[in-house]
Amino acid sequence: MAQNLDISYMSSGGKLKPLQAIMDIRHYTINMDVDIANKSIHGNTVVTLNLSKHTDTILLDLVHLLTVAKIKVDNKPATFTQGDDKIFITGTNFKEGTHSVDILYGGNPPIAVRAPWFGGFIWGKDRSGNDWISINCQKEGGRLWFPCKDHPSDEPNEGVDMNITVPKGLSVAGPGLLQKVTTKNNKSTFSWKTNYTISNYCVVFNIGKYFVAKDTYTTIDGNKVPIEFYVLEEDSAQAKKVIETKIRDSKILEKYFGEYPWVKEKIGIAEVPNSGMEHQTMITFNNKFEYRKVGGHDYSDNLFHEYAHEWWANKVTNKDWAHMWIQEGIGTYAEALCMYELGGQEAYNEMIANHKKSIKYIKPLVGGEELSEDETYAKNDIYVKGSFFMHSLRYVLGEEIFFPALKKLATDPATTYDNFVTSTDVEQLFSKAAGYSLKPFFDFYLRTTNVIEVSVKETGYQQYLIKVNNYFMDLPFDILINGKKEKLVIGKDGIKIKSNLPPTIDPVGYYLKKVTIQ
């Protein structure tokens, strides 16, 4: 019977299965031979995991298009069944503690329909006819090509080792640090190792006829980090400018969010045949080396946005896809901050205005808990409304509170690396910095599609009552009164003002609002 090649139904995350809730992934070792001619992969993955209690079944995820041949648990053969994109490993009682699960498998992995949004393998060619392969799996999860626990709440705390074998003459770009390259029988094996925890969808590799352009970056804290750009040999002349741009962008991002997160590894970039992705320490990039001018500087949206994800997604990680706005919204707001650094206040204002105009208000940014990637991502405003929310929060708190709190979110051990976050965690951090609860503000922006409804009512000669009709907490507003801007707090009962002319509410546009004149 032919296999169903349609994987559009697959979506990472969702409700954590009880059999996986008792499992803590510690490490993956992936040994894979890539057969480019047949568009197939064959090898094994060793999953090191801790069980919090004994169980008769270990449950891992793997796309049905790849066939498992054999499994060993703690070096002993294990029985298993494979179905519904899952592997059920049985045959004995697995005790509480650490176990090693070795899975031998292979086949033809899914082919990407529209990478990176709909993931899979791209088996392409560069302009010179060389093989050029990329993998994307944010939507579907790492199970698209290796056995794993497919849930954003669990990353391998002790990292990943990948040994990827390809035809001699090609190179493999991967996460972490390249340990060695071994060549034998016209094949080369590239051994990559990560020293940090890493999300499943960042456990990927890219293959190409690459030239590796190198440099070194000195971080804001004085650490020296290698820069490696895996650029196609035919595009090697473009490498210098990309690296120079990367160094400049690093300084901007470090100013607001603290030191580059992966100082023990590298700043990596790989040219790929699809739009870019935030793959940890090897972000992917393809904008045909086109830049636009911002304040006289060359700027690439693709290069900067994916790089911002090294902080927002890879270092500060959502515990659940329900809170995806944290990585996408703050990552997008980082672009606005870059506009300010390169082009000044006007460039910042223009980008924020564009974000505001792009909001669709179809569904809340946070639609519940334990949601899949599809349930949150589809028809959502996680990018632009998430960014505008940061813009509003900055105004409400004031810069002297907002920016230190934002940097704390990006640097505090409680919210980074092994410790994942939810919207509540972010709210509580900013509330603590503010000295009062911001929960109503967060709930309004994140959990509804409403805008603030402000009414201006003339109550007498040159007298006005300004109210927030859907009041949820006291908020400051800039109000133009007789051409002079004043910052006033509007409470539940509104405020009364005297003005020769009708007042203008929030003229710059710090809020998502609707103003009615009565």
Asked if residues 349 and 410 have their Cβ atoms less than 8 Å apart, the reply is no
C-alpha count within 13 angstroms, C-beta hemisphere, residue 358: 17
The pTM of the full predicted model, rounded to 2 decimals, is 0.96
Could you report the per-residue pLDDT of 390-413, keeping only the tens digit for each?
999 999 999 999 999 999 999 999
Task: Catalogue the E-assigned strands of 196-239.
Answer: 206-208, 210-218, 224-232
The DSSP secondary structure of 471-496, one letter per residue, reads --S-EEEEEEETTEEEEEEE-TT-EE
Question: What's the full length of the chain, in residues?
Answer: 518
The whole-angstrom separation of Cα 361 and Cα 376 is 13
Instruction: Kindly give the confidence (pLDDT) of every residue in the chain, 518 residues in length, as a single tens digit, with 9 standing for 90 and above.
Output: 456 688 999 999 999 999 999 999 999 999 999 999 999 999 999 999 999 999 999 999 999 999 999 999 999 999 999 999 999 999 788 999 999 999 999 999 999 999 999 999 999 999 999 999 999 999 999 999 999 999 999 999 999 999 999 999 999 999 999 999 999 999 999 999 999 999 999 999 999 999 999 999 999 999 999 999 999 999 999 999 999 999 999 999 999 999 999 999 999 999 999 999 999 999 999 988 999 999 999 999 999 999 999 999 999 999 999 999 999 999 999 999 999 999 999 999 999 999 999 999 999 999 999 999 999 998 889 999 999 999 999 999 999 999 999 999 999 999 999 999 999 999 999 999 999 999 999 999 999 999 999 999 999 999 999 999 999 999 999 999 998 999 999 999 999 999 999 999 999 999 999 999 98
pLDDT value at residue 1 = 41
Q: Which pLDDT score is estimated for 3?
A: 65
Domains of the chain: 20-204 (2.60.40.1730), 209-303 (3.30.2010.30), 321-447 (1.10.390.10), 452-517 (2.60.40)
First to last CA, the chain: 69
Q: How far apart are CA 8 and CA 139, in angstroms?
A: 9
Q: What angle do CA 452, 457, 463 make, to 5 degrees?
A: 130
Neighbours of 95 (CB within 10 A): 12
Tokens of 264: 């023990």
Residues sharing a CB contact under 8 Å with residue 87, sequence separation 6 or more, in sequence order = 59, 60, 61, 62, 68, 71, 80, 81, 103, 147
Spatial distance between the Cα atoms of 373 and 31, rounded to a whole number of angstroms: 28
